[in-house]
Homo-oligomer: A and B are copies of this chain.
């Protein structure tokens, strides 16, 4: 009597989201296609509209379905803007430490910089120049450059054209660079060092010099660790409450 174990059927709302997901994955529904109306779906699946709605809420959360207007839902391919915040939240809840983030950044950021240098377009370069100018203005005004620092690293990742890297790096950047707010007040010269590094990285990218870009980026990320330690902070401290 071991053969017949209890069947584990998913709830109907889960079956709905799995089925629509399947249709998207196998290409029957393509990104950009409008989803049928809730009533229509309820009719086809033979379930009540509220059940369909629960399934749609799941797809919406997964980024497989996006709303164009307040009403119209269209199929979409989830991108890093959908996934990165969830990953950041997960790491925050797990009390991720500075060390973990830094170790990961220490390999991903130099790769980003090198790839971007090798493949850069003028558009990316223009965005980086613009970011440099705004960062400098912010520092001169005595304000925190954290948001612009995050943007700088995101721009470089985007420039790499490597979507796996973009996706993997984004949550780490979102959590690691805010750590700079803990450093800046104690190390006044750090803003200047940040600016120097950013400029050198952009110049290397402009010159399409991948090695130089990689080296400066590695130096820049190492500097973050040095600053952290110089401030007497513990690398194994969680960055959750910065």
Contacts and interface: CB of A to CB of B under 8 A. Distances in A.
20 contacts: A25-B93, A31-B93, A53-B54, A57-B58, A78-B89, A78-B90, A79-B94, A82-B90, A83-B83, A83-B90, A87-B87, A87-B167, A96-B163, A100-B163, A100-B165, A104-B108, A104-B111, A108-B108, A108-B168, A164-B171
B163 A172 contact: no
Interface of A: 13, 24-25, 31, 50, 53-55, 57-58, 60-64, 77-80, 82-83, 86-87, 89-94, 96, 99-101, 103-104, 106-108, 111, 115, 161-165, 167-169, 171-172, 175
A172 B111 CA distance: 16
A104 B87 CA distance: 18
A218 to B, nearest CB: 11
Nearest to A78: B90
B94 A163 contact: yes
A54 B58 CA distance: 9
Contact of A78 (B31, B55, B93): B93
A47 to B, nearest CB: 14
Contact of A58 (B60, B89, B106, B167): B60
Nearest to A169: B168
A61 B61 contact: yes
Given A79-B90, A103-B111, A104-B164, 9 more contacts: A50-B50, A62-B89, A77-B90, A82-B90, A86-B86, A87-B167, A99-B162, A100-B162, A104-B108
Contacts of A104: 108, 111, 162, 164-165, 168
A53 B94 CA distance: 26
